[in-house]
């Protein structure tokens, strides 16, 4: 009895190994359901330092780019970046415009209804950026104020729920809100803290950050629900990158020592 059980186990094991062999055998067949065989097409709204920007020479640069490149190496795929509108980024993913979204994208319950999220790869949260000399110190201070957010972002969702704001202005790109605040048209910007920080640091005579985060968020990689195999591969790749020091190196280069 025992012996035959072992026999069955051995057969099962052999089958499992053979099957995983055909899945990972990968780059010729397109088991991962990629838009283009051998390529990982990454959608992002690339005006979001230090996660993604497009440099003067047209190249994509930032934390998410470096992370995506490492994921590409893990999966044996060439990574292609697509700059896109943020407010429709999930719809575009589901319309197969890209294979994944890596765009400082916060994992939310509402979004998770329409896409898969990878394991979290970054601890984030919203902060308030204000003009130098502002008296705003907390959320109560927002009553009657002109608030800027990125359209469709968690900052937008958060501010939309606040009562008593003077005005809520939504911008396609976070840096546009900062330019408008520089011109005197906003009292505060509610945006991802780690993104507002380098922008504020670049304009020390104009802006400052109100201490403390107003939300706790985590970033994840979004994958279409039609593609569960890719989700698994991405999570495996992330785990490998986090385990062997590559994640820390990327963090140091782009978050701790950001420069454009």
Binding site for ligand ARG (CB under 6 A): 44-45, 48, 51-52, 86, 103-106, 150, 153-154, 192
Nearer to ligand ARG, 48 or 178 (CB): 48
- Least Cβ distance, residue 51 to ligand ARG (angstroms): 6
The token pair at 177 is 């809100």
Task: Tell the smallest beta-carbon distance from residue 202 to ligand ARG (Å).
Answer: 17
3-state secondary structure of 115: strand
Helices (H), the chain: 2-24, 63-75, 89-94, 109-112, 154-160, 174-182, 193-202, 228-243, 246-251
In angstroms, give the least distance from the CB of 72 to ligand ARG. Answer: 19
Which of 26/254 has CB closer to ligand ARG? 254
Q: What is the closest distance, in whole angstroms, from the C-beta atom of residue 107 to ligand ARG in the complex?
A: 8
State how beta strands 217-219 and 167-171 pair.
unpaired
As measured in angstroms, the least distance from the Cβ of 150 to ligand ARG is 6
Angle 228-243/63-75 helices, nearest 10 degrees?
110
- How far, in Å, CA of 163 to CA of 159, rounded? 8
Tokens 């072992």 locate to 6
Cβ 86 to ligand ARG, closest distance in Å? Answer: 5
Nearer to ligand ARG, 75 or 90 (CB): 90
* Nearest to ligand ARG of 51, 116 (CB atom): 51
Nearer to ligand ARG, 40 or 53 (CB): 53
Rounded distance between C-alpha atoms, residue 154 and residue 165, angstroms: 17
Cα atoms in the Cβ-side hemisphere of radius 13 Å centred on 247: 11
Q: 66 with 153: CB under 8 angstroms?
A: no
Q: For residues 51 and 178, which CB has a smaller minimum distance to ligand ARG in the complex? A: 51
CB 24 → ligand ARG: shortest distance, Å?
31
Residue with Cβ nearer ligand ARG (202 or 240)? 202
**How does DSSP assign 187-252, residue by residue?**
SEEEEEHHHHHHHHHH-TTTEEEESS-S--EEE--EEETT-HHHHHHHHHHHHHHHHTSHHHHHHI
């Amino acid at each position: 009895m025992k012996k035959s059980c072992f026999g069955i186990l051995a057969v099962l094991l052999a089958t499992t190994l053979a099957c995983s062999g055909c899945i990972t055998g990968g780059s010729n067949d397109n088991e991962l359901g990629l838009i283009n065989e051998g390529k990982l097409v990454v959608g992002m709204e690339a005006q979001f330092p230090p996660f993604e920007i497009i440099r003067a020479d047209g190249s994509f640069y930032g934390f998410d780019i470096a992370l995506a490149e490492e994921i590409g190496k893990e999966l044996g795929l060439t990574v292609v970046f697509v700059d896109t509108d943020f407010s429709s980024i999930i719809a575009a993913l589901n319309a197969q415009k890209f294979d994944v979204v890596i765009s400082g994208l916060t994992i939310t319950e509402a979004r998770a209804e329409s896409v898969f999220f990878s394991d979290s790869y970054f601890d984030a949260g919203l902060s308030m950026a204000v003009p130098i000399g502002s008296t705003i110190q907390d959320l109560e201070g927002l009553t009657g104020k002109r608030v800027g957010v990125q359209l469709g972002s968690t900052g937008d969702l958060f501010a939309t729920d606040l009562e008593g704001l003077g005005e809520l202005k939504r911008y396609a790109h976070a840096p546009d809100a900062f330019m408008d605040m520089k011109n005197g048209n906003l009292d505060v910007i509610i945006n991802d803290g780690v993104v507002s920080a380098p922008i504020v640091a670049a304009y020390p005579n104009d802006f400052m950050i109100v201490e403390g985060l107003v939300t706790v968020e985590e970033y994840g990689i979004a994958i279409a629900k039609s593609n569960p195999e890719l989700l698994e591969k991405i999570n495996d790749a992330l785990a490998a990158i986090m385990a062997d020091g590559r994640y820390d190196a990327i963090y140091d280069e782009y978050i701790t020592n950001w420069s454009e």
